Each structure stands twice: as C-alpha cells, then as structure tokens.
Amino acid sequence: MSAMTFLNAVEPHLPILLIIVPLFGALMATFMRSGTVAWFISLVVSVLVALIAWKLLNTILSTGTPIIYKIGNWEAPIGIVYKVDQLSGFVLLVIAAIAAVMMPFARRSIAAEIKQRAQPWYYAMYLLCLAGLMGIVITGDAFNAFVFLEISSLATYVLIALGRHRRALLAAYQYLIMGTIGATLYVIGIGLLYVLTGTLNFDDIASRLGPALADPERRNAVMAALGFAFVGVSLKLALFPMHVWLPNAYTYAPSVATAFLAGTATKAAIYLLIRLLFTVFGVSISIETLPVPQVLIVLSIAAMFLASFSAVFENNAKRMLAYSSIAQVGYIMLGVGLACLPVLAATTDASPATTPNNGMTAGLVHIANHAIMKAALFLALGAVYYRIGSVLYKDIAGIGRTMPLTMLAFGIAGLGLMGTPGTAGFISKWYLALGAIDTGWYSIVFLIVASSLISLIYIGRITEVVWFREPSAAAAQAKEAPLSMLVPLWILALLTIYLGLDTRATVDVAAEAAKVLVGGIR
C-alpha cells in the first residue's frame, strides 16, 4: 500500500485518531523503563497529534462545514459523535501545538526534576492528559465530555503530584478534591439536561431545550442545569473565585507540567463552557434564565484585578505567573461574557449575524495568545529551575546576566502579557476593548487597560529582579540554558511577536468561530 492511499484511507478517521494516538502512546510509555524512550514516544505522538489537528482545522476552514465523525457509525442521538467545527478545530490546534512545541524542552527538564523510575510515568500521564483534553474539545456528547474531563483531570493530579517538593502532593490532593467536585457538578447539570431532553448530544439538547423552557415547570430545571454545569466547569477553568486550587498546583508541579497545564488545561475547560453557553443553552436561554453575562463580566473583572494584585506581591515567580493566569482567564471570560450581551446597533454597520462578535473574537484569540505567552513564561522559569533549582525572587536575582537568552525570551513574553502593542497580547486587548465598546460598556474599556497596568507592575518587578539586582550566589554560577530548552522557548517568544503583527492565524480563525457561535444564534 503506497503512502498516498494509506493517507487517503486514514483521513476520514482523523478525529478519532486524535484521541487514540495519545491514548495508545500513553499505554506504550507506561511499559518503558527508560525516561528517554518514553520521551521519544511522547514527542512523536505530540507532533502527530498537532499535525492531525492542523489538518482538521484546515479542512474545516476550506470547506466551512463541520466534520462529524460517528463512532461505530451510529447516528447522533444513539451513538457518540465527534464534531470538529471552527471553534473546536481552533482550540484543538492551540492545545496540540503548545503540547508539541514544548516536548523538546521536556526531556532534560523532566530528567532533572523527576526520579528515574517515575519518568516514564510522567510521559504516560502527560499523554493521557493530552488525550483527555483533545477529547473534551472534539466530542459532541455531553457525557463523553465528562469522561474526558475526568481522564485529563486524573492525569493532571498525577502530573502535579510528581513535583519535587512535598507540597506538590498536597496541591495535587487539593486539586483532586476541587476538580472532582467541579466535574460532579457538571455531571449533575448534564443529568438534569438529559432528564429534560432525553439526549446527551450537544446539538440535540440545544434543539430540544426550547420547548422545555416554555413550560414553566421545567423552566426551573433548565435554570438548575445551567447553574450546575456553569459552576462545575468554572471550577475547572479557575474562574474567580473558584481558582483557589490553581496557584499551588501550578507552583509545585514539575516545570514542564506547569507550562503544559497553564497553556492548555484551562483552555479546554473554557472551550467546554463556551460550548455550553452558546451551542447547548444558546445565548437567549443563558440571558433569560440566569444573569450569566453579568456574572461572567463581574467575576472576570474581579479576577483581572484581584489576581493581578496577588501577583504583584508574590515572591515566587511560578506562583506569580499562576496568579497572572487567573487574571488572564478573566480576560478570556470577559470576552465571552461580552459576547452574550446584545451589540449596540449604532456601532456596527452590518447586522450582528454577518460580522464576527468582537468580544467572542477577543476571548478566542486570547485562548491562543495566552497559551503561547504563558507557556513561554513558564518554560523560561523551567530553564531557570533546571539551572539553579529555584524560582524564588531572591534566588533568581540578577539571573539575566548569566542566562540572557532565557530571560530575554521571558521579557518578550512578559511584554505580551502586558498587552504591549506589537505583541499578541495587544491584539487580544484591542478586540476585547472593541467588544466592550460594541456593547456600550465604555467603563470596561478603562478597567481592561487599568488591569494591564497592574500586569506592568508585576512583570516590571520581576524584570527588575532578574536584570538589575545584584546576582544571587546561585544566579552568578548559572549557565545559559541548553539548546533543547532555548529553541522551544524562543519559538513561543517569537510567536508572541509574530501573532502581534500578523493576526491572520489567530484573529481570522477566531472570527470565523465567533461568527459560527454568536452569529448563528441571533
């Protein structure tokens, strides 16, 4: 069989391969004795998954119609379907690409941070987590999403627990409690929806919710379902104030795991929430039954400010970035919240159905941009940890002089986080502010830029520490990170700039997805 016919034969099954490949890879990694072999398997699998995701997104964008994969050829309401549309294709690629880019970094970092015999387990869990995240995004079935959510979560707990410090165990335990509560709340919501509609397929639920809402007795149940599912998923994506598990988990997990989780795990949960709000419940239901947009906007803004303030006063660089992640999730959810609100007619010439919603575009773009920037920042810290074994401010003081390339990449990604024009972060904030203007919430524009100012303070503070303070004993001895670490780091750092100047890859796709999500409903 020639390569061409093989590819043709495989092509229709790409959606399921997205799950099977990492699952199988995880199985193989489990049986390996050597961390290096397991790493190589993970590398191959990650790249393969990224290529599949890229191919899927390209197909969607060129045809414009969603890819629907029926597992076992069972039709939708009976069987489980995988559905890849512009939104899920976009998120799939973001997650897979981030995972693949940081794999070369992982080998040395993991070899240094995790005991020899546990290394294959790390890679197995990582691949399991990747499979789970892919599954959350690709599935079109509400309960299947729960299963994948738990697969990825269980793997995540192990990844965190593999951290070097004993507090990693406690962080993993706390996350396990919170994560399980969140997942269970989600499942309660889904259960109520199933009782109401008799189906678990996202699209089918959506089409059958209308009559349920019209019936005053069942209306309460719809509200309860929305409430449970919303809170459950919000716990997973660390929406303020359901974020308490996140700082410890990110601080004590192995460096690569932190970078991976910060870039991808919350993003999959955000995807699930967007899917629930816009596809399953639909904006009209979300607004009519519960004040979802208001809640989202208030909580997001609270996250943007309070979490950023916490970041300012942190003395542990990883925890500082963890708090910043909570704030950045706030930006994404603010965009989502704004997308729920009606667009003022005066600000747009065309009808909302044909122009992409700026708020939603901002949220989706920031999913990609934040994943890239935060992964770069955490990888830079991972390289520092690899060299000096600490990321406390007192230890990394003056490290810019001995590890200039690493810290320069850190600085670039930091600029992106602040939303400096010319970086990806600016594009996110630009669309977010446009979204706020579209809905007439001018005050939010000021809140967005004011919170950027706080990020200037915490990024400025660490910049001062690493560049201008006298080097600590450890930092003075440090050497520049090895090439296998610098390359992934710089790819992400340069992407931060590139996506700030050429937005076709992010904004155009996000706008397409926003059009499908928000445009279709109005």
Which residues are at the interface with another protein (CB under 8 A)?
A: 143, 146-147, 150, 154, 157-158, 161, 166-167, 169-170, 172-173, 176-177, 180-181, 184, 187-188, 191, 194-195, 200, 315-316, 319, 347, 392, 415, 418-422, 427, 429-430, 433-434, 437, 442, 445-446, 449-450, 452-453, 456-457, 460, 464, 468, 500-503, 507
Ranges of H-type helices in 263-357: 266-274, 282-289, 292-302, 308-312, 317-340
Between vectors from CA 391 to CA 390 and to CA 397, what angle results, nearest 5°? 100
Task: Supply the minimum distance, in Å, between the C-beta of residue 195 and another protein.
Answer: 5
Task: Supply the minimum distance, in Å, between the C-beta of residue 456 and another protein.
Answer: 5
Task: Supply the minimum distance, in Å, between the C-beta of residue 169 and another protein.
Answer: 5
Between vectors from CA 16 to CA 122 and to CA 182, what angle results, nearest 5°? 60
- 96/307 with CB nearer another protein: 307
Calpha distance 103→260 (Å, rounded): 9
- 16/221 with CB nearer another protein: 221
In sequence order, the 6+-apart residues with CB closer than 8 A to the CB of 489 are: 105, 376, 379, 380, 383, 406, 409, 481
In sequence order, the 6+-apart residues with CB closer than 8 A to the CB of 461 are: 312
- 107/370 with CB nearer another protein: 370
Calpha distance 380→151 (Å, rounded): 28
Residue 162 dihedral angles phi and psi, to the nearest 5°: -75, -5
Task: Supply the minimum distance, in Å, between the C-beta of residue 510 and another protein.
Answer: 11
- 336/424 with CB nearer another protein: 424
Task: Supply the minimum distance, in Å, between the C-beta of residue 5 and another protein.
Answer: 37
Task: Supply the minimum distance, in Å, between the C-beta of residue 151 and another protein.
Answer: 8
Contact between residue 512 and residue 57 where contact means Cβ atoms under 8 Å apart: no
Task: Supply the minimum distance, in Å, between the C-beta of residue 449 and another protein.
Answer: 5
Q: How many CB atoms lie within 10 A of CB 228?
A: 20
- 23/100 with CB nearer another protein: 23
Cα atoms in the Cβ-side hemisphere of radius 13 Å centred on 507:
20
DSSP-derived 3-state class of residue 199: coil
In sequence order, the 6+-apart residues with CB closer than 8 A to the CB of 8 are: none
- 133/427 with CB nearer another protein: 427
Task: Supply the minimum distance, in Å, between the C-beta of residue 251 and another protein.
Answer: 9
- 146/278 with CB nearer another protein: 146
Give 342-351's long-range contacts (Cβ < 8 A, gap of 24+): 342/439, 343/438, 343/439, 344/438, 344/439, 344/440, 347/437, 347/438, 347/440, 348/438
Task: Supply the minimum distance, in Å, between the C-beta of residue 442 and another protein.
Answer: 8
Cα atoms in the Cβ-side hemisphere of radius 13 Å centred on 375:
37
- 168/377 with CB nearer another protein: 168
Task: Supply the minimum distance, in Å, between the C-beta of residue 452 and another protein.
Answer: 5
Calpha distance 239→217 (Å, rounded): 31
- 284/315 with CB nearer another protein: 315
- 26/415 with CB nearer another protein: 415
DSSP-derived 3-state class of residue 391: coil
Task: Supply the minimum distance, in Å, between the C-beta of residue 340 and another protein.
Answer: 20
CA 368 remoteness from chain centre: 8
- 6/468 with CB nearer another protein: 468
